Every structure is written in C-alpha cells, then in structure tokens.
Amino acid sequence: MTKFSNKKYDLEDRTACFAEKIIELCEKAPKTAVTIPIIDQLVRSGTSIGANYCEANGASSKRDFRNKICTCKKESKETKYWLRILAKAVESLRDECRQLWKEAQEFTLIFSKAAASSK
C-alpha cells in the first residue's frame, strides 16, 4: 500500500501494485523472438487494468462507469491469457505467473460483480 492509502481494499492501489509486479515479471523474462511479443501484450493488458479503473472512478455517468468497468474485466481476462502463455514460454517464471494469474482472476470476479451491479 502507498502511504496515501489507508484502505485495505483500495482497488486503485491494488491495481497499481499489480501493474508494478507485471512490469517486474516482464523485466525478468529473457528477451527472445518468442517472448518479446508476449511481454509486450502482457505489459499492455496488465497495466491498463488500473488505468481503466481510475477512469471508471472519474466516470461522467453510470453508463460510462459500466463501460470502463467492463474494459477492466476484459483487460483482466486478457492478462490471465498472457500470463499463461508466458509461464509456458519461460518455465522458470511459472510460479510467479501463477500468483499473478490468481490476482488477475480476482480482478475479473470483482469487475464482473461491479459491472452487474451497475446495470
């Protein structure tokens, strides 16, 4: 948690920490013809979850909020996919990918619930 956040379940902070962990993971991966595109996609999807959540919190309408939350859900699911692929491509990162996959799955469930609640 950042020093500015006192909430245990602050999703803005949680998604930012997740993005930082994705970046750290991708920096560890060897750069090969196979891994470079995987890393690129994983960084894009994994870091956009939090960015879209911040946008959702600043939404101008209920419809705008729901749209941004649905994007968060989509990016969480895509991140799970790329984590699976990276784990297969770089077996030494499998355990770390698995841990991040679990966090991305929690985000998918959270954003699914938020989207359903905002109808």
**For 53-111, how does the pLDDT look when each residue is reduced to its tens digit (9 = 90+)?**
999 999 999 999 999 999 999 999 999 999 999 999 999 999 999 999 999 999 999 99
> How far apart, in Å, do the first and last CA atoms of the chain sit?
31
Domains with residue ranges and CATH for the chain: 11-27+38-117 (1.20.1440.60)
| Per-state percent for the chain, helix, strand, coil, to nearest 5 | 80, 0, 20
pTM assigned to the model: 0.90
